[in-house]
């Protein structure tokens, strides 16, 4: 974790390996598993058979890929089990864009990667080989990448911009925030003023999370 003003935050998104320890300890079967698969947006929301946190694209993943296909409450339960919690939207924004480490100059950036989005895992504008076709992306094994392998960003955090959206707590009982964009979006979604929400009970291929801990 990284120490910031008022809290600690995970350096990376929670991985499949980390979530597996929680699921085993709690004998947890997630919503996506119970319902036969999580969701992806293809001309409307589509359920994908066999897609869940264990097999995010229906095939055996690297255990260091981010844990996705999890609802807000499943993510919150993992954080609680770990002695942490999900960040509020304002906490997440503070960590993503404003440098707070003791040995660094305090400065607020446009992107979680700094002044430029390059180095993030996004669909276009981040310096990666780009395609706009979802099927092509998935056939190439494109999509999210392992946690902690992209460019280190503001506060030494990884993937606060792109890779997968991250659940955050907002004052709405039915909808919860998602922040940072994902591999399926461009650079606009990585900026601080871009807000997005999803129903708290949605389990989606490009939504993951990280936890924070109060000081």
The pLDDT assigned to 80 comes to: 98
Q: Which tens digit of pLDDT belongs to each residue from 148-160? A: 999 999 999 999 9
Q: CB within 8 A of 162, min separation 6: which ones? A: 117, 120, 121, 122, 126, 150, 180, 181, 182, 183, 185, 189, 190
Mean pLDDT along residues 20-40: 97
Domains assigned to the chain: 2-214 (3.90.1580.10)
Average pLDDT of every residue of the chain: 93
Is residue 179 over pLDDT 90?
Answer: yes
Task: Please give the Cα distance from 148 to 145 (Å, whole number).
Answer: 9
The pLDDT assigned to 141 comes to: 46
Nearest C-alpha neighbor of 131 from the set 143, 120, 119: 143
Task: Please give the Cα distance from 4 to 100 (Å, whole number).
Answer: 6
Overall residue count recorded for the chain in this entry:
215
């Amino acid at each position: 974790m990284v120490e910031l003003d008022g809290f600690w935050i995970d350096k990376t998104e929670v991985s499949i390996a980390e979530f597996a320890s929680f699921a085993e300890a709690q004998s947890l079967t997630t919503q996506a598993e119970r319902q036969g698969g999580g969701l992806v947006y293809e001309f409307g929301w589509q359920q994908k058979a066999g897609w869940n946190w264990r097999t995010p694209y229906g095939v055996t993943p690297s255990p260091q890929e981010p844990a996705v296909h999890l609802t807000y409450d499943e993510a919150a339960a993992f954080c609680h089990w770990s002695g942490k919690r999900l960040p509020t939207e304002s906490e997440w924004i503070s960590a993503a864009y404003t440098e707070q480490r003791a040995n660094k100059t305090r400065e607020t950036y446009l992107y979680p990667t700094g002044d430029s989005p390059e180095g993030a895992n996004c669909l276009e504008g981040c310096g990666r080989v780009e395609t706009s076709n979802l099927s092509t992306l998935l056939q190439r094994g494109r999509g999210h990448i392992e946690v902690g392998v992209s460019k280190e960003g503001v506060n030494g955090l990884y993937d606060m911009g792109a890779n997968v959206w991250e659940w955050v707590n907002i004052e709405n009982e039915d909808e919860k925030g998602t922040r940072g964009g994902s591999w399926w979006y461009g650079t606009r979604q990585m900026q601080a003023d871009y807000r997005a929400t999803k129903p708290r009970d949605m389990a989606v291929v490009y939504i993951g999370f990280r936890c924070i801990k109060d000081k």
